[in-house]
Amino acid sequence: MNSDVLSITNIIVGITCLVSFLLMEKQTGKALLIFHPVTIREHHQWYRFVTSGFVHADMMHLAVNMFVLWSFGNAIERYYYPAFMGDFAAQKYMVLYFGGVVVSSVPSYFRQNKNPNYAALGASGGVSAVVFAAILFEPWQNLYLYGVIAIPQILAGAAYLFYSWYKDKKATDNIGHMAHFAGAVWGLLITGLMNPELFTRFVQKALQGPSWL
C-alpha cells in the first residue's frame, strides 16, 4: 500500500474520526475519555490529557479539526520534518502533535481542577501545534481562510494568537481559547528547539517579506 496513505497524519485522522463518530451521541462512552480536571485530580486519570483529543462535540467540530490536521500535518510530516529534523523525524512529529494535545490542556487543568462542571474535548491543541510548526518553516506562505481567502501564514498566526488570548480573557463562550493558544506556542517552540537554526531562518524569512513584494 502507498506509504502516503499510511502517513502518521492520516492514521491519526482515521482513528480520531472513527472514535469521535462512534461516541458522538454516546455520552457515557465520551465521558470516559474527555478532559475532566476534577476526575483527573481525584482519580489520577492522566490518560485523559491524550484521549480527549480523540473525541469531538459534533460533526462540524470534528470536520474542521481533521481537515486542518490533514492539510498541514501531511506537509509537516512528509517534507519539513524529514528535511530539517534529521533522525527520528516521524517520532518527533508525534511529539509535536500529541504534545500539543497534552500541553494545550495544562492551563485548564490548573484553572479548573476544583470545578466539577468543567470538561473539554477535541484535538484543537494538537492541530494548532501542527499549524504553527508550518508557520515556523514558511511564514509567508498563504493560508486559505474558508478555502478561498489567501492570507500569509505569519499574519494569520499572529491574528489567531491575539484572538485566542483576547477571547480567553473575555471568557464569553465555552470554547477553549487558551488551549488553542497553548497548542500554537508549543508547536512553535518544540519545533524550533528540535532544530534551533529554524528560529534564525524564521526571522530571516519573516524580515524578507513575501516574494511578491
149-203, pLDDT tens digit by residue? 778 889 988 988 888 888 777 765 556 778 899 999 999 999 999 999 999 999 9
Tell whether the model's pLDDT for residue 4 goes beyond 90. Answer: no
C-alpha distances in Å from residue 36, one per residue of 15, 21, 31, 46, 139: 21, 20, 8, 10, 35
Rounded Cα gap, residues 71 and 118, in angstroms: 31
Q: Which are the contacts of 17, defined by CB distance < 8 A and separation ≥ 6?
A: 62, 66
Residue 148 predicted with pLDDT over 90? no
Q: How far apart, in Å, are the Cα atoms of 196 and each of 28, 67, 87, 160, 210? A: 44, 29, 15, 24, 23
Q: Measure Cα distances from 23 to 11, 32, 95 in Å.
A: 18, 10, 26
Its pTM stands at 0.91
Give the whole-angstrom CA distance, residue 67 versus residue 127: 10
- Per residue in 101-143, pLDDT (tens digit) is 999 999 999 999 999 999 999 999 999 999 999 999 999 988 7
Give the separation between CA 64 and CA 86, rounded to whole angstroms: 31
Tell me what pLDDT residue 33 has.
96
pLDDT at 3: 55
List, in sequence order, every beta strand (DSSP E) within the chain.
Answer: 142-145, 149-152
Cα four-point dihedral sign 61, 67, 72, 74: positive
Give the whole-number percent of the chain exceeding pLDDT 90: 71
Q: Identify the CA nearest to 104 among candidates 52, 145, 66.
A: 52
* Residues 72, 82: Cα–Cα separation, whole Å: 15
Mean pLDDT in the chain? Answer: 90
C-alpha cell, 160? 489567531
- If phi over 0 gives left and psi between -120 and 50 gives alpha, with beta otherwise, what is residue 148? alpha
Task: Look at residue 146 and tell me whether its pLDDT is greater than 70.
Answer: no
Give the domains, in start order, of the chain with CATH numbers: 8-208 (1.20.1540.10)
